Structure 1
Amino acid sequence: MTTISTMATPRKWRALAFMARFVLRLVIVIFTAWFTLAAFYQAAPGWKWPVISAGFLIGLVAVLAVRRRPLLACVLLLAAMLLCSYWWSSIRPSNDRDWAADVAHGVTATTAGDRITLYNVRSFQWRTTEDFDPVWRTEQYDLASLQSVDLLNSVWSNPAIAHTLVSFGFSDGRHIVFSAEIRKERSEAFSEIGGFFKEFELVLIAAEESDIVRLRTNIRRETVSLYPLLLPPKVARALFMSYIDKANALAAEPEFYQTITANCTTIVFRLARLIDPGIPFDWRIIVSGYLPDYLYDRGLIRTDLPLSQVKKQAEISSQAQASPAQGDDYSRVIRPVLKGG
């Protein structure tokens, strides 16, 4: 029995050593891949490929060293992680860059009782995505006259991914839409992968529906759906004020957009949780094309019809494209009388 036990021990140690080497190699490969993408999106143009090449070379040396010089591999990995951590933490968000025209200004606000003044309300007149009249306004709203809250989902390619906007309607017929968006610089284009690597700042845009919704229905010709939210007046007011607070916070301290954790839908969820901390998280908040399903299950949109019919009635792109309406008329066009079951 002693002989068998003695023989088993070296095998056990060899198996553990093999597993340790495998895990170490895997960590090195994953870190090298992460660094390659981070350098691609964040290294200065003249340094991008030299930095990527150096990182790849260090990673290759560390992987090859794992079998015979594991201590060297660990030292290289730890040193690279420490240097990258210092570099990564030095990349800070900013509100002062050469922004693209449509995100040149984030909304800010002041309050005096129920009187809300919004600065930099976007009111563009779009002819194409490249041809538009840039107009930014200062508008006042009476929170006591807030009548409705609508959630809009805009799908452009993959039905599982949608942009989420929230529109607040007032008794005077005006609607103001809040949208958390990437803040591109003039030379940048949107990248889902770049959104993981501090490529863009986050900006909160406030805009008229004839700007920000019509851009999606008539100009980009996306599939846009509008869902009236079933919220008590007190909650609707609190949600509006949470947007105001977030807008002023972003103006004071900028944040990065993050494809998963700080995007158009997760911002809505975070603000809603400020009102009701008990709202449960759900995978459909991340896969935002299915957000209406989540709202339906939570009873936050109408549930007197099957979900498929609710979704069908919510689509507004075709009626928007069939009408030349702009301004407040556009808001009326996209809100037909909803049919019951």
Structure 2
Amino acid sequence: MSAMIVTTLLVLLVVVAIGIAIFLIFTNPSLSRDWSPDQALMPSVDFINEKRVRVKNIRNINYRTTRDYDLDYYDKEFDLDEVISAWLAISPFGGPGAAHAFLSFGLKDGSFIAVSIEIRRKKGQRFSPVKAFMRQFEIMYVIADETDVIRVRTNCVKYTVRLFPVQTEKALIQQVFLDVLKRADKLGKDPEFYNTVWNNCTTNIIRHTRRFSQKPIPFWNIRYLLPDSLDKIAYRLNIIDTHLSYDAAREHFDITKYAQATKPDDNFSTAIRNHLKIRPVD
């Protein structure tokens, strides 16, 4: 290949790279697109006072398949001191290491509020890590009933879900929960792009947690990109409430078969935890 051809190709590559960079720089996130129906409604939060909140549009969709479902939402008002437990959920999908991580918070009344940080899909869109790096998806905090975000994974798409109890002070759990609510509410007014590397499900969980935790949670780790083994970091830092070995804990806190065995009239959150060996909350 002649020097002239090589030079021409290099120039073309530079021009294309500059064009892509300009496109990305001037592409802005939006709240107004033709959203997938199950992600069209964003959550919002009324911060009534320092101790009390009203969470609006908690999603409670009954998924028969990922395309066939009944839309349902509800609001819930409660004091922050009613939040007494936190759970880390990890659901592997796709290739090695690929997974979705999300949180769930338990209340004194026995209910649970899950927070799943996801791309906000337009109609017909599917997740792509490459597109997610190229400012092609907005980010949203799905605040939902566990029956929604767990069952759709275990029962509809047949993914595994591991659900780990978090071992920490209730005050810290409440601080993290409030921080999550503030960000969820803000995204309903000021949209952002999802990013595969620095604004994904796991990096946001880490930021919320590091803001209040005294544990040496790494600012960055390759597992934040491939979070199927994020539980290894949590286990090593004694964040998971268990005396089991790491491998045994992974098996014990796999709630997939229990979720798949639930019936419509069951209390879903209770049914998926009945077998778990955890210390009672004071």
The C-alpha deviation readout for 1:128-186, integer Å capped at 9, x for no partner, is 22221101222212211111100111123435111111000001111000011011101
Q: CA deviation at 1:254?
A: 0.8
The residue that corresponds to 1:100 in the other structure is 36
1:68-217 to 2 correspondences below 5 Å = 81-112=17-48, 113-217=50-154
Match for 1:121: what amino acid? I
2:158 counterpart SS class:
coil
Matched, 1:224 2:161: yes
The farther-off stretch of 100-109 and 317-326 is 317-326
Q: 1:107 corresponds to which letter in structure 2?
A: P
Checking the alignment, whether the CA contact within 8 Å between 2:163 and 2:254 is kept in structure 1 is yes
Extract unaligned runs of 5+ from structure 1: 1-59, 67-71
Q: C-alpha offsets along residues 200-256 of structure 1, whole Å, 9 cap, x if unaligned?
A: 111111000111111111122210111000121111011101111211221222111
Within the candidate set 232, 236, 256, 2:173 is matched to 236
> What's the counterpart of residue 271 of structure 2?
333
Count of aligned positions: 275
Q: Report SS of the residue matched to 1:198.
A: coil
Q: Is the 8 A contact 1:181 1:205 kept in 2?
A: yes
CA–CA distance in structure 1, aligned partners of residues 70 and 159 of structure 2: 21
Aligned counterparts of 1:311 and 1:158: Cα–Cα separation in 2: 19
CA separation in 2, counterparts of 1:299 and 1:162? 21
Counterpart residue type for residue 241 of structure 2: R
What's the counterpart of residue 226 of structure 2? 287
Q: Paired residue for 2:259? A: 320
After superposition, the CA RMSD in angstroms is 2.4
| Deviation readout 1:256-315 (Å, 9 max, x if unpaired) | 111222111111011112224853232222220001111000110035221111111100
How is 1:22-61 mapped onto 2 (pairs within 5 angstroms)? none
How far is 1:336 from its partner? Answer: 2.0
Identical-residue share of aligned pairs (%): 31
Give the aligned partner of residue 309 of structure 1. Answer: 248
Aligned to 1:246: 183
* 1:320 CA displacement: 1.4
Cα separation, 2, equivalents of 1:76 and 1:128: 45
CA distance in 2, matches of 1:324, 1:164: 25
The residue identity in structure 1 corresponding to 2:223 is: R
Deviation sequence 1:30-82 (CA, Å, 0-9, x none): xxxxxxxxxxxxxxxxxxxxxxxxxxxxxx9997253xxxxx88876666555
TM-score, scaled relative to structure 1: 0.74
Out of 203, 206, 209, the position equivalent to 1:266 is: 203
Answering whether residue 237 of structure 2 is matched by residue 298 of structure 1, we say: yes
In 2, Cα distance between the equivalents of 1:114 and 1:96? Answer: 32
1:210 touches 1:326 (CA, 8 Å); kept in 2?
no
Relative to the length of structure 2, the TM-score reads 0.89
**Pair member with larger Rg:** 1
* SS of residue matched to 1:176: strand
